[in-house]
C-alpha cells in the first residue's frame, strides 16, 4: 500500500530532528503512510520537498510564564506556540493547559491541525499552543493571573490576520475571557484574535457545542453508509469536558443513548442513559469530578481508572478525552463487544495498533482530523462574523457547520476512493488535507 522507503526517509528525518517527541513522530508517521501513494504519483511534490517542508514548523515560541499564586508565592510555567503552516491562511488552533504539555505534544497537535483545517473548506492554516499549567484546583484569580502573564508574551506573536488561538484541554470560556481581556488591554484593539469568546462580546453561537455536534454529524454519515442511524444505538464517550458534553447532547437528540462518560479519575456507567443536566452541573458549574454523578443517580456505577471505559459494551464509541487513550487491548475489547463505529472527538486518541485492529475488523473508523473538525470550522465562522462585525443566529451557524462536515466527509471518501483505499476515512482525510496544503505551497514558491 505504501512506498516504505519514502516513509522510512521521512521518519528518519523527523526522529533525528525532533528527538524525544514520540507523539509528534506518531502523528507524522500516520500522514506519511497515507500520502506515500500521492507523492509517488506526483513527483513535483517530491522535487519541491513539500513533505520535508511540511514537517518543519514555520515558527516556534517557548516562553517563561511567571505568576503569583493566592498565597503570594511565585510560580513559573512554560508557554508554547507553534506556528506550523500558513499555506492556506493565518495560523489557527487551540491552546492546551495541562501538566503533560511539552513541545512534542504541541507539535503533534499543530501538525494534525494543518490537515484538519484544510479539510474544513475554510481558509485557515495550522498552529497550536499551550502550557504545562494545570488549571485544576486553582482559584479563578490564579487562573486569571496565569492567563494575563501568558498573554503578555503571546500577544507579540498573534493577531487577527496572523495567528488566532482558541481553546483545547483546560482552556474554555473562562480562560478565553481572561486571555482576550489582556490582549485587548495590551494592544488597545478589539478584534477577533481569539475564538471561543463569550456570546455578547464577539463569540459565535454554536462554537461551544461545535466540536461535539460536528463529531456526531460526521458519525451520522458513517452510520448512514452502514445502513444505520442513531436510533437505539448504545454509545460510550470518554471524557466529560467540552467535546464529550455536546456530543452527548446531540446523540440524545438524534435518538441514541450515551451510557458512559469519564474523566481522568474513572468512569460512570448509567444504563438508563446519562443525565446531561447532572453532568453539566458537576463539570461546567461546580468544576467537580465525574464520580459525583452517582450521588444524584444511585443506580449508576462509578469505576476507578479511566481506561476501563472501553470494556463497556457499546455500538458506537466516541473517544473524546486525550491522545492514545485507546490502545490495542482497548480496541480489541471494543471489537469483541460488537462496536461498529468509532468517531474520534479527541486528537489522536487511538494508537496506531488500535487503528489497525479497527480496520482489520471492518469497524468504521472516523479519524480525528476529520471527525472533530467541526470545532475549528466554527472558529473560522466566528472569525468571519468578527470581520463583518455581525452575529449570525444559532440556526445559521449550525447549518453552515452541517454543510462543512458533509464536505469534510465527502473529501475523505472521495480521496480514499481515488487512491484505491475505498472506505478508509483515515487515508482519505490525510490525503485530501495534504493535497490541498501541498498545492497551496507549490503555488507560493519555496518559502
Residue ranges in 103-132 that form contacts with ligand 2IT under rule CB under 6 A = 116
Cell of 20: 524525544
Asked if residues 65 and 80 have their Cβ atoms less than 8 Å apart, the reply is no
Q: Pick from ligand NDP, ligand 2IT, none: which does 170 bind, CB < 5 to 8 A by kind?
A: ligand NDP
Instruction: Quote the least distance from Cβ 397 to ligand NDP, whole Å.
Output: 14
Closest distance of CB 213 from ligand NDP, Å: 11
Q: Which long-range contacts (CB under 8 A, 24 or more apart) does 197-206 make?
A: 197/382, 198/173, 202/382, 202/386, 203/382, 204/378, 204/379, 204/381, 204/382, 204/385, 204/391, 204/392, 204/397, 205/391, 205/392, 205/393, 205/394, 205/397, 206/378, 206/381, 206/394, 206/397, 206/398, 206/401
Partner interacting with residue 93 (select from ligand 2IT, ligand NDP, none; CB below 5-8 Å by kind): ligand 2IT
Distances (CA, A) of 190 to 158, 179, 194, 201, 381: 13, 13, 11, 10, 17
Query: Which 227-266 positions form the footprint of ligand 2IT (CB under 6 A)?
Result: none
How many residues in total does the chain contain?
A: 447
Minimum distance from residue 169 beta carbon to ligand NDP (Å): 4
Of the listed 107, 116, 128, 197, which one is catalytic?
128
Instruction: For the beta carbon of residue 383, count every other beta carbon within 10 angstroms.
Output: 26
Based on the shown chain and the rule CB under 6 A, indicate whether residue 343 belongs to the binding site for ligand 2IT.
no
For residues 371 to 410, the per-residue mask of contacts with ligand 2IT, x marking binding by CB under 6 A and - elsewhere, is ----xx--x-------------------------------
Please give the Cα distance from 359 to 361 (Å, whole number).
5
- Spatial strand order of the sheet with 59-68 comes to 59-68, 74-85, 125-131, 91-97, 163-166
> Considering CB distances under 5 to 8 angstroms, the limit depending on partner class, which of ligand 2IT, ligand NDP, none binds residue 92?
ligand 2IT
Under the binding rule (CB under 6 A), the answer on residue 175 touching ligand 2IT is no
- Is the CB of 347 or the CB of 364 nearer to ligand 2IT? 347
Give min distance, CB of 258 to ligand 2IT, in A: 21
Q: By C-beta, is 65 or 215 nearer to ligand 2IT?
A: 215
Contacts with ligand NDP by CB under 6 A lie at: 167-170, 172, 211, 239-244, 263-265, 306, 320-322, 345-347, 372, 375
Beta bridge partners of 159: 163
CB of 379 to ligand 2IT, least distance (A): 3
| Residue bearing cell 472569525 | 383
**Residues binding ligand 2IT: number (CB under 6 A):** 11
Residues 432, 415 contacting (CB under 8 angstroms): yes
Distance in Å, CB of 429 to ligand NDP, minimum: 14
Query: Which residue's beta carbon is nearest to the bound ligand 2IT?
Result: 94
Q: Which is nearer to ligand NDP, 95 or 363 (CB)?
A: 95
As a whole number of angstroms, the distance between CA 410 and CA 304 comes to: 40
Nearer to ligand NDP, 288 or 423 (CB): 288
Between residues 18 and 195, which has the closer beta carbon with respect to ligand 2IT? 195
- Report the sign of the C-alpha dihedral through residues 120, 124, 129, 134, in that order: negative
The answer to the question of residue 334 lying near ligand 2IT (CB under 6 A) is: no
Q: Which of 34, 120, 195, 430 binds ligand 2IT (CB under 6 A)?
A: 195
- Edge-to-edge order in the sheet of strand 316-318: 301-304, 266-269, 257-262, 234-237, 316-318, 341-343, 364-366
Nearest to 378 by CA among 11, 55, 117: 117
DSSP state of 203: P
Contacts (CB under 6 A) with ligand 2IT, residues 129-168: 166, 168
Compare residues 206 and 339 and give the one whose CB is closer to ligand NDP. 206
Least distance (Å) between residue 227 CB and ligand 2IT:
30
128 is catalytic: yes
∠ CA 201-203-207, nearest 5°, is 160
Between 273 and 308, name the residue whose CB sits nearer to ligand NDP.
308
The residues that touch ligand 2IT, with contacts defined as CB under 6 A, are 92-94, 116, 166, 168, 195, 347, 375-376, 379
Catalytic residues, which ones?
128
Amino acid at each position: 500500500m505504501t512506498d516504505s522507503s519514502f516513509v522510512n526517509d521521512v521518519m528518519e528525518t523527523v526522529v533525528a530532528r525532533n528527538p524525544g517527541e514520540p507523539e509528534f513522530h506518531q502523528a507524522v508517521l500516520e500522514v506519511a503512510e497515507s500520502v506515500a501513494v500521492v507523492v509517488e504519483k506526483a513527483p513535483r511534490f517530491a522535487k519541491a520537498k513539500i513533505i520535508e517542508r511540511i514537517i518543519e514548523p514555520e515558527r516556534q515560541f517557548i516562553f517563561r510564564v511567571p505568576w503569583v499564586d493566592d498565597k503570594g508565592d511565585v510560580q513559573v510555567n512554560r508557554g508554547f506556540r507553534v506556528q506550523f503552516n500558513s499555506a492556506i491562511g493565518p495560523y489557527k488552533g487551540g491552546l492546551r493547559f495541562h501538566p503533560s504539555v511539552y513541545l512534542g505534544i504541541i507539535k503533534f497537535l499543530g501538525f494534525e491541525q494543518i490537515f484538519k483545517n484544510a479539510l474544513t473548506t475554510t481558509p485557515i492554516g495550522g498552529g497550536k499552543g499551550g502550557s504545562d499549567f494545570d488549571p485544576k484546583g486553582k482559584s479563578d484569580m490564579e487562573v486569571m493571573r496565569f492567563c494575563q502573564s501568558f498573554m503578555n508574551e503571546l500577544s507579540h506573536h498573534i493577531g487577527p490576520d496572523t495567528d488566532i488561538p482558541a481553546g483545547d484541554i483546560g482552556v474554555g470560556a473562562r480562560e478565553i475571557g481572561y486571555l482576550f481581556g489582556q490582549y485587548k488591554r495590551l494592544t488597545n484593539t478589539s478584534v477577533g484574535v481569539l475564538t471561543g469568546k463569550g456570546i455578547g462580546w464577539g463569540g459565535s453561537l454554536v462554537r461551544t457545542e461545535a466540536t461535539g455536534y460536528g463529531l456526531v454529524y460526521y458519525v451520522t454519515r458513517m452510520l448512514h453508509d452502514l445502513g444505520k442511524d442513531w436510533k437505539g444505538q448504545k454509545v460510550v464517550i470518554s471524557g466529560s469536558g467540552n467535546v464529550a458534553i455536546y456530543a452527548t447532547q446531540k446523540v440524545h437528540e438524534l435518538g441514541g443513548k450515551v451510557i458512559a462518560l469519564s474523566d481522568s479519575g474513572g468512569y460512570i456507567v448509567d444504563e438508563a442513559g446519562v443525565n446531561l443536566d447532572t453532568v453539566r452541573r458537576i463539570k461546567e458549574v461546580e468544576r467537580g469530578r465525574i464520580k459525583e454523578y452517582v450521588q444524584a443517580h444511585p443506580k449508576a456505577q462509578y469505576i476507578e481508572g479511566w481506561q476501563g471505559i472501553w470494556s463497556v459494551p457499546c455500538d458506537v464509541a466516541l473517544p473524546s478525552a486525550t491522545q492514545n487513550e485507546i490502545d490495542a487491548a482497548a480496541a480489541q475489547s471494543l471489537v469483541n463487544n460488537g462496536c461498529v463505529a468509532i468517531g474520534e472527538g479527541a486528537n489522536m486518541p487511538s494508537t496506531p495498533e488500535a487503528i489497525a485492529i479497527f480496520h482489520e475488523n471492518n469497524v468504521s473508523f472516523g479519524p480525528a482530523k476529520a471527525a472533530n473538525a467541526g470545532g475549528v470550522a466554527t472558529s473560522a465562522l466566528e472569525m468571519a462574523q468578527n470581520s463583518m462585525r455581525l452575529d449570525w443566529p444559532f440556526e445559521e451557524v449550525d447549518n453552515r457547520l452541517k454543510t462543512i462536515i458533509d464536505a469534510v466527509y465527502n473529501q475523505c471518501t472521495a480521496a480514499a476512493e481515488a487512491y484505491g483505499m475505498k472506505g478508509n476515512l483515515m487515508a482519505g482525510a490525510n490525503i485530501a488535507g495534504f493535497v490541498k496544503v501541498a498545492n497551496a505551497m507549490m503555488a507560493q514558491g519555496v518559502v
